[in-house]
Amino acid sequence: MSVLVGKPAPSFNASAVANGQIVENFSLDQYKGSKYVILFFYPKDFTFVCPTELHAFQDSLAEFESRNVEIVGVSTDTEMSHWGWLQVPRDKGGIGGVTYPLVADTNKTISADYDVLVGEYGFDEYGDLMVEGELIAYRGLFLIDKEGIVQHQLVNNLPLGRSIKEAIRMVDALQHFEENGEVCPMDWEKGADAMEATHESTAAYLAK
């Protein structure tokens, strides 16, 4: 598994659905210099755990927007599959009401670039495509700063849903550091004391 923290987020252009409309050539470049991004991957449309996560991001969208964060979802389904799932009401297992962009990684290259692609593929001696497992995405999450640099990443296996509260906490920690130059210790939350980034302060904290 690649560690992308501290590196530029891999760029891409792909079809997406945003606000119920299909968008061609969607790219994260539109946010560079002005917005933070939480880019999250999920395995499949029309499944069970995935809609709980997609709705959780939608329900917390105002909190992310107040922090200048854009939410972008990605799966290896097509844009038409995304659009179709958006037509299904929430109480029927659909994702009706989700407004943030859902990217269609149909050719699997985005998932591969972020190293969250499940399964392996290659060619045999006859040139035939060989695939082991489903080529879908793990539950990856990447916090990207305004300069396009990955500051946090988390990758869960397929059955394990993520925490919106933790995603917000990581945004708060990053922004606190950027604004105050203070580092954030374990379980730090917005409004709590942080630490000056010096050897002396770290030693004092560990001695408590």
pLDDT along the chain (208 residues), means of 10: 92 97 96 97 95 97 98 98 97 96 96 93 79 90 98 96 96 94 87 75 44
Say what the pLDDT of residue 189 is: 85
Going from the N-terminus, what domains does the chain have, and what CATH number goes with each?
A: 14-161 (3.40.30.10), 163-208 (no CATH)
Say what the pLDDT of residue 201 is: 46
How far apart CA 190 and CA 121 sit, in angstroms, is: 44
Selecting among 9, 38, 50, 137, the annotated active-site residue is: 50
Helix (H), strand (E), coil (C) string for 121-140 = EEECCCCCEEEECCCCECEE
Three-class DSSP category at 143? strand
Say what the pLDDT of residue 166 is: 96
Say what the pLDDT of residue 129 is: 74
Say what the pLDDT of residue 134 is: 87
Among 98, 100, 102, 99, residue whose Cα is nearest residue 82: 102
Say what the pLDDT of residue 148 is: 97
- 184 carries an active-site annotation: no
How far apart CA 208 and CA 203 sit, in angstroms, is: 9
Between strands 139-144 and 120-123, the pairing is unpaired
Contact in structure between 93 and 54 (CB atoms under 8 Å): no
